[in-house]
Structure 1
C-alpha cells in the first residue's frame, strides 16, 4: 500500500525559547499543526486537552523532567498510544535505552537537525497510521467470519514485523550505548593506570637505592646521634624496609589486575569491530563469566554458584563477536536469575548444606544426565563446547534452577515476553539472542527444560558464518 507523506498535530515540549521558536516555525512551514509547552505539567495538560498525534519531548526541563512526563503519559490509557520522541544531548547516550524502556519510540540528538526531525516525525506518524489501519482491519475481521483467518495472519505478520523492527532498533541503540560507555571507561582508566603501572618499577628501584644508602650510612656511622636513634625507633625503620617493597608489589599486582579488566571490557564489546572476525569461543565465554563474577559469588540465602566447564579444542570461529558475547551474557544472566529464584527461597537452610565431595572432578559428567542426577542444594551452571562434523560448533549452557513450563518454553523467544516482575526486564534478551544466532549467524538456538531440574540452552552456529 502506498502512503502519502504523513502530516498531523504535534506537541513540542521544550524549555529553551530559541529551540522552541525554531522548531515551531520550521514544523509549521513543513505542514504540521504545532502546539507548544515549556514544562512537564503544561505538557500533560495540553496532551489531555488536544490529544496530539505525536509528541517531541525534551529530556531536561524544570520541574518534572521528560522521563517522568513520559511515564505519566504511558500510565494513562487515553494517552499511552501517542508516540513520544525524546530530544536529548549527545552526552545523554546512557539514558537513551531508558527512554525506550519507559515507552518512547525514538530520540533526536541535539543540536537539532531540522531535516532529521521532519523525517523521524513522518516515519512515526506513518507507523501510527499503519497501526490505526490495523485496528480498523481487525474490526472488519470481526464482522466478516469468512475472511477472519486470512486477515488475522496478515495482522500477525504485520505486528511481528513491527516488533522485530523495534527490537532491532533497541538492540542497535543498546550496543551503541554500551560500546560508547565501555570505550569511555576504558580510555579514562587506561591512561592513569598505565602511568601508575609504568612508574611503580622506577619507584621500587629508587626506594631500594635509598634503602641501600641508609644501610651504607649505618655501616659507616655505627654510632648515630641520640636524635637519629630516636627517630629510627619512632618510624620503625626496620619494619618500613621490609614492608614497603611488599606494599609496592601489591600495588603492582592491583594495577595489573585493573589493566587486564580494562582489556577484558574492550575485548567483550570488540569496540570498532562490527564486522565478521575470527575468535576463540571458549575464551569469549570465559570473558563473559569474568564480567559476571560478582553475580556468581555467594549472596545472603544463596551459596556461590558453581560453574562447571567442559570445553573442547575448537577452531577459530568466524562470527559477529560482540553480538555473540551478548548472547552468552543474556543466557548466563537468565541462568543466574533462575538459580537466585530457586536457592534464594531456601534461605537459612542452605547454611547447613555440606559441599559435595569430589566436586572438582565433576567436569566429565555433564549436562542432561547431570540435570536429572543432580539433587544437591548447590546452585550450578554447566557449560560445554564441541565441534560437529567439522562444520559447526555447539555450545550448551545448563542450570539446575526451577526450570520452566512447556507453555513458557514455547514463548520464550517472543518479543517482550517475560516471566519477570514488571520493571525487572524488557523481555528482549532472549529475542535478541535468537535473532543474533538464527538471522545473523544462520544457526540454531534451542531450549529444553524440566520443572524442578533446570533448563538447558543449545547454541549451534557454523564455523564460517
Structure 2
C-alpha cells in the first residue's frame, strides 16, 4: 500500500443509523440491502409507524426512511409524531410514496419532511436523498391547519443532490424481451435513438433486469418464449417490490380474447399483436413514455418544493436571529441614551429619527417573518416582562412628529394614582411595538385634522390598552375590521395593519376588540395582554 495515497472515499451513509419503516416485509428486506450497498451498515426495521415510534424512544437513529401508506400508523402520522416530540424533532425523515397528488406532497412539506422519494426508484436516487437528509438542518413543522396558501411553495430549479449525476443518461429506458433475435434487432433499431434500450432473449434474463438496481421504465414483453413465458415474467414482476410498478406492454402473436384478458389481469397497460407495424408502434410507445417522463418530472418538482421550503426556513431563521436581535439591541441602546436629560435638542431629534427607523425595520420583520409563522401555527412565544407604558409613550412621541401637519393631540394616560409603578405586560417587546405602532398609526390616519387621539393604559387583569380617535369606522366593514386586506377610505391602505395587530396580540395570549359610537362620533380599539407574574 502506498502510504502517500489518499484514504479511500467513505460512503456518505457510512456510520449512520437508519430506521426503515414499511408494512411489506419484502420491501423492507430490499431497502435494507440497498442501504447496505450504499454503505449504511446500521439498519433497523419496523412494520408500521407505531412500532417505529416505540423503537425511536429507546434507540438513536440518524435518519428515518418510511413508506407513506401503512396500517396502524401511516408514514405521515409518524412524521407528525416525530416533529411534535422534543427529543426526536430533529431526526431527518425521508418519505417514500407512490402518491403523486400535489396536495398530499404539500401536506408532507408542511409537516416537516426532509425529502420525498417517489416509487419506483433506483439506488442512486435513494443515495441522493440519503445524502441530503443526513446533511439537512431540522425542518420546522407547519401544522395542517395552516392558513390557505401558507404551506404552498412554488417550484424552483433543483440543485445539489436532487439533480441527476452528469454521467447518467436521463433518457427513459425500455427493456425489450423476445426469444427471436430478428425481433430484438427490429425493435432495438426502432427505439435506440430516442430511448435507452436493453435486450433480453429469455424470461429469466428479463426478470433479472427488471429487479436490478437500474430497472427499466417500460417493458415490451413477448408472451410465447421457452422456459419462462411472458405471463410468468409479468407475474413474478408484480410480486417483486422493485419491479411491481414497471409498466408492461405485451407484444405477441397471441390474439385471442383470453390471452388479452390474462395480460390485462397481470397489469399490462397495452396489448400489441404481431406482426409489428413500426409506424403504429412507435407513436404508441412515445406517447406512453411521455407519461413516464411526467412522473420523473414530478420527482424533480417535489424535490424543488421541499428545497424551497427549507430555503425559506433558512431565510426566516437568519431574519429572526441575525437581523432581529441586533435591531432590538440597537433600539434598547437608543432608548437608554434618550433617557439622558443633558442631550441637546438636535441630538435628541436625531436619536428619535434613529429610534423610529429601527422600530419600522422591526415592524417589517414582524409582519413578514413572525406573522407568517403565526398564520401557519409554528410560532412559539418566549414571554418576557414588557414595560408597556414605555412602549406606548415612545410610539406616541414618534407619531406626534409624523402627524404634526394634522395638528393632532396624542395623549398617553394611565388610571394609576400618581407615584404608582406602571404594571408590566407578559409578552414580546418587539411584537408589542408592532401591535401598537400599527393601531396608533391607524387611529392617527383616521382622525380628522386638529382632533385628539387618546391612548389609555388600564390597570386590569389582563392589562388593557384603549386607543380612541374621533370619527367612526364605516358600518360596512365593522364586522370585518380585523380581517386580512379589509380597508376603506384610506389611500394606499393595505388592510394588513389591524389584521396583523390582532394576530400579534393573540400570539402573546392577548386579544383585541373594536367599539364604535355613532352618536358620539368615536372609534375605540381595545387590546388586552397578560400581566407579568399574573393570570392572563
**Structure with max Cα Rg:** 2
Greater RCO structure (CA 8 Å; 6+ sep): 1
In the superposition, the TM-score normalised over structure 2's length comes to 0.34
In the superposition, the TM-score normalised over structure 1's length comes to 0.38
Q: Which has the higher helix share?
A: 1
